[in-house]
Structures are given as C-alpha cells and as structure tokens.
Amino acid sequence: MKGPVVLVTGASQGIGAEVARLFAREVRGARLALVARNGRNLSAVARACARAGAEAEVFRCDVADAGQVEALRRAVTARFGAVDVLVNNAGRFAGGPFLRLTVADFDAQVAANLRSVFLVSRAFVPGMARRRRGDVFNLSSIAGLQAYPNGAAYCAAKFGVTGLTQVMRAELRDRGVRVCAVHPGATWTPSWHGSGFRPERMMPAGDIARAILAAYRLDRRTVVEEIVLRPQRGDV
C-alpha cells in the first residue's frame, strides 16, 4: 500500500534528516522526497530511510533559487506525483552585530530562511489546495518569536517565516490544508560541532521530528497551529 509523499528540505542532516528517518520508520508506505544541496549526505539519509522500509529519492536543489525549485517541482511530480506532506526545514544561521551587518549578509539569511519557504511552498501547496488535503510544517525558530542581540538577519527572516505561516494557515484552512509553524529553541545538530556549546544544554533533533509526526497524525479535524520547543536547561 502506498503511503503519503513527504517532501523534506534540508534533509541531509540535523532536524531534516531526523524527520525523514522518523517518517520512514513510523509511517507505513511513506515515499520520501529528500531535498538538500549536499548530495553525499543526502544519499546516506536516503539509504537509512530505505533500510527502514520507505521509498526514498534524492533531489539536489538550492531551495532559495527559483529556477532550481521549479525544476524540483517537475522532478518530484514525475517521480512520486502529488506531495502530501511538506516540511520546509532548510535554512542557515549566521550571527553578528547589526551595525556590522552587510546587505549581502542580510540578503543571504533572508534567502536561505524565508525566500526558500515561499518558493517551495508556492511550488507544492497549490496542488494540496486543489486536492483539498495536505500538511505543511514550516520550521521557524524561537528566533521567530523572540529577538535577541547579534541576530538581526536571522531573527528578521524567522519572524518572516512565522508571519508567512500564519497567512498560509488563514488562507488554506478552508481548503483542507493544515499549516503549522515549528519554533525550536537550541537544537543539537552537526552544525554546532566545534562551537564550544554543550549538547546537554540543547534539545536532540529527534524530538523536533517526533513533535512534527505527532501533529501530522492527529485527526484531520484538528490542526496544531504552532509548536514551541525549548531546551529544559538552555537559555533559548
């Protein structure tokens, strides 16, 4: 029996990889479209998903590039058909004081964290609306709810994701599409290696994935509008 088509961006490591592996293990017949720029890591995640019994395909794409996202839409549709679950997880963080923030740095953060969510959603959500069924999880951040020093570009982008998600939910709720904003605090992923931060003060990425799966599994009459997760011993 074929299960849902689940598209995960930023699936090569961290939260995205955990989401992919969890859906592979827990959702019968899941068909996974795994999207990222790092093909080597992405292939490793796909193999893990296949061992768990899922059908997984790798799609290399810079999701901040409109042309590449359109090519992604065509490729995913040709391989799997319609997407049922979209997890907009791709993003990047770079901190720094506002007074030293360059236009290029600001634009890069907005492109990676906000423009990417818009482009991928615009590619796949119209199909959900036509079918009157679908689930979208947009990874915002605690930084999309609470601003902090040295995070001007990142906070601006994540606040944008929060607002975009609210608009999408309001427009799509009568068309059978559930839209959820996920706001993780500090989460241990490979990008933190060598940073000096201690893993025990952060959340495991697998917990974010489990929260997303739990929201997906609820009755279709129920929508989780926002998920806020913070480390028990951390500051954010």
Contact criterion met (CB below 8 Å) for 230 and 185: yes
Determine the pLDDT at residue 196: 61
> Given this model, what pLDDT does residue 192 score?
64
Q: What angle do CA 160, 162, 163 make, to 5 degrees?
A: 65
pLDDT of 95: 85
Mean pLDDT, range 158-179, rounded to an integer = 98
SS3 228: strand
- The pLDDT, as a whole number, for residue 89 is 97
Q: Which of 93, 82, 73, 78 is nearest to 9 (CA)?
A: 73
Q: Which residue reads 């964290």 in tokens?
A: 113
Three-class SS string for 57-72?
Answer: EEEECCCCCHHHHHHH
pTM of whole model > 0.75?
yes
Backbone angles phi, psi at 196, to 5 degrees: 95, -10
- Per-domain residue ranges for the chain? 5-229
Q: Can you name the residues that pair with 137 across neighbouring β-strands?
A: 87, 180
pLDDT for the residue numbered 189? 79
Fold classification of 5-229 is Rossmann fold (3.40.50)
